[in-house]
Amino acid sequence: MKDNRIRTLFPSVLVAVVMVSVLGLAGQTGFAQSAPASQYNLFKEVMAKKDTIVWKNAPDNLLPAQACTLLQACAGSPDKFIATPAVTENGQQVARGLFLTKTQDPKHGDAVMLLDQSLDLYLFLVSPDGNLQKAAYRETGKSWLVISNSLAQPIFDKDKKIWHDRVAKLGGAPPASAKPEGATAQ
């Protein structure tokens, strides 16, 4: 009886192992498509246009001190920001902001942060390589928390794409290294 169960289970396990191996090879050999967000660097795009973007000075209380401390940012005075008009996504109002500030570490200088505000708030610190460096999250009525990048990544990727498209339309052309491959001027 035990041998019969093993013989029945073995083909299923073998198929699963083969599928995992094939999918792993596809990802390594380029068969799997990479996320478009990895093809550009929002940090470099913002830095290249920081003098041509029409920034607003952020009110002192716009970036919460607790979130700034968690992200080790907001050491600029005044912080600058731009915002997108609020939109409705999945039946919820969503407002987004892009901030130019300073890190709390003087060696690193400028910092780019993204704000995503719906029912909850997310603040994302963009690393110089254009990826998510850190994320802070606040549920309505609660304190700010640092959350793992893996939890914040889907929202960050969406916001990064929105801001990439928006920054591309502001000021001069983005730096050549920040354009996605195969991109054409609009």
CA distance 141 to 33: 40
Is 50 inside a domain boundary? Answer: yes
Question: Residue 1: its pLDDT value, please?
Answer: 52
Question: Residue 168: its pLDDT value, please?
Answer: 92
Residues 69 and 3 grouped into a single domain: no
Question: Residue 59: its pLDDT value, please?
Answer: 87
Residues 137 and 171 grouped into a single domain: yes
Residues 56 and 120 grouped into a single domain: yes
Residue 62: half-sphere exposure toward Cβ, Cα within 13 Å: 23
What residues in the chain have per-residue pLDDT under 70? 1-38, 171-186
- CA-based torsion, 150, 155, 159, 162: positive or negative: positive
Is 13 inside a domain boundary? Answer: yes
Is 130 inside a domain boundary? Answer: yes
Question: Residue 57: its pLDDT value, please?
Answer: 92
Copy the structure tokens of residue 132.
């998510």
Q: What is the DSSP string of 36-103?
A: GGGGS-HHHHHHHHTTTS--EEPPTTTS-HHHHHHHTB--SSS-EEEEEEEEEETTEEEEEEEEEEEB
Residues 67 and 97 grouped into a single domain: yes
Is 52 inside a domain boundary? Answer: yes
Query: How many domains does the chain contain in total?
Result: 2
Is 156 inside a domain boundary? Answer: yes
Question: Residue 75: its pLDDT value, please?
Answer: 84
Q: Which domain holds residue 9?
A: 1-33
Is 90 inside a domain boundary? Answer: yes
Is 181 inside a domain boundary? Answer: no
Residues 116 and 167 grouped into a single domain: yes
Question: Residue 11: its pLDDT value, please?
Answer: 39
Residues 97 and 131 grouped into a single domain: yes
Residues 21 and 87 grouped into a single domain: no
Residues 27 and 8 grouped into a single domain: yes
Residues 28 and 3 grouped into a single domain: yes
Residues 87 and 155 grouped into a single domain: yes
Residues 71 and 29 grouped into a single domain: no
Residues 29 and 77 grouped into a single domain: no
Q: Per residue in 11-49, pLDDT tens? A: 333 333 323 333 333 333 333 333 454 588 999 999 999
Do you find a cis peptide bond into 78, omega within 30 degrees of 0? yes
